[in-house]
């Protein structure tokens, strides 16, 4: 049972934090579909067309719809006024090469040149350069990525074959209405002069689009340029992510509370957050003898310690480095030990307890407090604990610090879990000296679970020498 809970905890750690790491690693993206409430992105390729593009602009204006025009440079030559009109009416201009040719048929240098020439035309007409690029037929190759620099590649979520006149306005309309939903990026054509298209196909497109816009208006949609579509999508993705994280964390805390309840964990002292929780359980490891002649053997009663998650995370959040966090945690532990001694002495459940015990990665200096530090015996438990503690360390510290820490040789030392044991007579010495030195941290409550792995059932000790 305890192990199942522990595994549940590991799994949750991965679900909550890995997606963020992955999206950071693969930051580059090609935009295809948005995540919006009621917005749709209309995009028009291959223009401008001196006959159809002005009609399209009139239609869009009637519905107060904004769109994105991926223009072919050679079609835009001599169309300065039309480009300017597109821009001034609030639409976005993007690049669709200078001639309508697939990038597979051109050298990377030629593609780059095509983009630059088209962008020059846009700049001459509007005073601004575009950052949006759509490769003809959507064919992207690796060179495009290296070529793009600051360009954003825009593909689409829906296309309809509107470049063919025989499709007919009615069928096109039917296909389009199926894609009347938030976040769609529609690919349409306002020019039929490219290879494989029909010269007057845009006539059908305009007819179908009018119905689409009308229906969209009735249903409360708004039609936006690709710039707005991307920024809305970014905002919504972030919102969704934090919602996801929040719900995972509340589940986590709920699980922790259930764990504390199920295993009757007791709080040490009244500090908020407290440093420890403990429960009385039976020792399951190998026999250990201490210098004072006392012994802990399998089956002996021990008090198993757990760091308080809020204490840990608030310290980690306000420390400059993992090392500083470790030092502050050590200080908290030192402050809490007199309380723990008092409490164990007074707790009838704790009668006959031989030692206090815990598994933790934060063990630096623990020997000076009177703990005996042992390595965990290699095995599934040690391995999984190590993975968990690594993730936890990464989550608790900011990424830069973590990377710095990783580069140090001490990494394995830092994140390798250890067993801590302190014989009760040693603990009770804390009761005599400064028992009033306990100070509340008053740190803000925060999230994560204790680092002292909660459910150790059978820790096996191989080494009897302390680690320090």
Tell me the catalytic residues: 45, 189
> Under the criterion CB under 5 A, does residue 162 sit at the interface with Zn ion?
no
Helix (H) or strand (E) holding 108, with range, is: helix 108-126
Closest contact distance (angstroms) between CB of 89 and Zn ion is 22
Binding segment (CB under 5 A) for Zn ion, from list 58-66, 128-136, 318-326, 350-358: 128-136
Nearer to Zn ion, 136 or 285 (CB): 136
Closest contact distance (angstroms) between CB of 22 and Zn ion is 32
Nearer to Zn ion, 45 or 300 (CB): 45
> Under the criterion CB under 5 A, does residue 45 sit at the interface with Zn ion?
yes
- Dihedral sign of CA atoms 431, 433, 436, 442 in order: negative
Closest contact distance (angstroms) between CB of 58 and Zn ion is 23
> Under the criterion CB under 5 A, does residue 308 sit at the interface with Zn ion?
no
Closest contact distance (angstroms) between CB of 200 and Zn ion is 17
Residue nearest to Zn ion (CB): 45
Binding segment (CB under 5 A) for Zn ion, from list 46-54, 232-240, 368-376, 441-449: 46-54
Binding segment (CB under 5 A) for Zn ion, from list 131-139, 177-185, 291-299, 379-387: 131-139
Residues between 202 and 241 that touch Zn ion (CB under 5 A): none
Closest contact distance (angstroms) between CB of 93 and Zn ion is 15
Nearer to Zn ion, 46 or 256 (CB): 46
Q: How many residues bind Zn ion (CB under 5 A)?
A: 3
Closest contact distance (angstroms) between CB of 163 and Zn ion is 8
Nearer to Zn ion, 45 or 334 (CB): 45
Binding segment (CB under 5 A) for Zn ion, from list 44-52, 256-264, 276-284, 401-409: 44-52
Nearer to Zn ion, 15 or 137 (CB): 137
Binding segment (CB under 5 A) for Zn ion, from list 136-144, 197-205, 228-236, 294-302: 136-144
Among residues 9, 16, 46, 212, which is the contact residue for Zn ion, using CB under 5 A? 46
Nearer to Zn ion, 192 or 322 (CB): 192
Closest contact distance (angstroms) between CB of 135 and Zn ion is 9
Cα separation of 45 and 65, whole Å? 17
Closest contact distance (angstroms) between CB of 176 and Zn ion is 18
Nearer to Zn ion, 136 or 459 (CB): 136
Cα separation of 89 and 66, whole Å? 8
Tell me, what DSSP letter sits at residue 454? T
Residues between 64 and 103 that touch Zn ion (CB under 5 A): none
Per residue, the 3-state secondary structure of the chain, as one string, reads CHHHHHHHHHHHHHHHHHHHHHHHHCCCCCECCCCCCCEEEEEEECCCCCCHHHHHHHHHHHCCCCCEEEECHHHHCCCHHHHHHHHHCCCEEEECCCCCCCHHHCCHHHHHHHHHHHHHHHHHHHCCCCCEECCHHHCCCHHHHHHHCCCEEECCCEECCCCCHHHCHHHHHHHHHCCCCCCCEEEEECCCCCCCCCCCHHHHHHHHHHHHHHHHHHCCCEEECHHHHHHHHHHHHHHHHHHHHHHHHHHHHHHHHHHHHHCCCEECCCCCCCCEEEEEEECCCCCEECCCCCEECCCCEEEEEEECHHHHHHHHHCCCCHHHHHHHHHHHHHHHHHHHHHHHHHCHHHCCCCEEEEEECCCCCHHHHCCEEEEECCCHHHHHHHHHHHHHHHHHCCHHHHHHHHHCCCHHHHHCCEEEEEEHHHHHHHHHCCCCCCCCCCCCCCCCCCCCCCCCCCCCECCCCCCC
Nearer to Zn ion, 100 or 306 (CB): 100
Binding segment (CB under 5 A) for Zn ion, from list 41-49, 176-184, 306-314, 364-372: 41-49
Given the rule CB under 5 A, which residues bind Zn ion?
A: 45-46, 136
């Amino acid at each position: 049972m305890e192990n199942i809970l522990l595994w549940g905890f590991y799994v949750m750690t991965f679900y909550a934090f890995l997606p963020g790491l992955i999206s950071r690693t693969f930051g580059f993206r090609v935009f295809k579909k948005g995540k919006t409430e009621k917005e749709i992105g209309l995009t028009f390729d291959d223009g401008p067309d001196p006959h159809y593009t002005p009609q399209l602009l009139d239609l869009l204006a009637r519905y107060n719809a904004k769109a994105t025009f991926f223009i072919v440079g050679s079609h835009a030559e001599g169309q300065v006024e039309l480009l300017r009109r597109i821009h001034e009416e609030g639409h976005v201009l993007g690049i669709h090469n200078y001639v309508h040719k697939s990038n597979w048929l051109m050298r990377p240098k030629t593609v780059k040149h095509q983009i630059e020439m088209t962008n020059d035309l846009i700049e001459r007409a509007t005073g601004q350069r575009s950052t949006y690029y759509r490769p003809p037929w959507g064919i992207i190759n690796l060179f495009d990525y290296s070529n793009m620099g600051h360009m954003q590649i825009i593909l689409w979520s829906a296309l309809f074959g509107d470049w063919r006149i025989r499709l007919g306005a009615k069928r096109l309309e039917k296909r389009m209405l199926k894609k009347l939903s938030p976040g769609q990026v529609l690919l349409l054509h306002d020019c039929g002069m490219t290879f494989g298209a029909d010269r007057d196909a845009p006539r059908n497109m305009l007819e179908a689009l009018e119905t689409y816009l009308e229906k969209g208006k009735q249903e409360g949609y708004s039609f936006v340029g690709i710039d707005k579509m991307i920024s809305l999508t970014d905002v919504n993705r972030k919102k969704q992510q934090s919602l996801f994280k929040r719900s995972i964390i509340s589940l986590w805390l709920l699980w922790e509370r259930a764990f504390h309840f199920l295993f009757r964990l007791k709080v040490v002292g009244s500090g908020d957050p407290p440093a420890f929780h403990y429960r009385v359980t039976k020792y399951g490891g190998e026999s250990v003898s201490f210098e004072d002649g006392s012994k802990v053997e399998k089956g002996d009663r021990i008090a198993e310690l757990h760091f308080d998650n809020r204490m840990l995370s608030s310290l980690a959040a306000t420390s400059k480095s993992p090392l500083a966090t470790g030092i502050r945690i050590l200080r908290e532990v030192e402050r809490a030990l007199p309380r723990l001694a008092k409490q164990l002495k007074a707790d009838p459940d704790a009668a006959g307890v031989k030692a206090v015990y815990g598994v933790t990665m934060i063990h630096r200096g623990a020997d000076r407090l009177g703990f005996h530090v042992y390595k965990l015996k290699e095995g599934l438990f040690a391995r999984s604990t190590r993975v968990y503690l690594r993730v936890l360390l990464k989550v608790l510290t900011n990424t830069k610090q973590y990377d710095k820490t990783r580069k140090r040789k001490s990494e394995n030392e830092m994140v390798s879990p250890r067993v801590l044991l302190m014989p009760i007579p040693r603990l009770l010495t804390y009761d005599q000296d400064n028992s009033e030195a306990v100070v509340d941290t008053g740190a803000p409550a925060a999230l994560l679970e204790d680092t002292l792995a909660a459910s150790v059932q059978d820790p096996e000790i191989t080494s009897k020498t302390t680690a320090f």
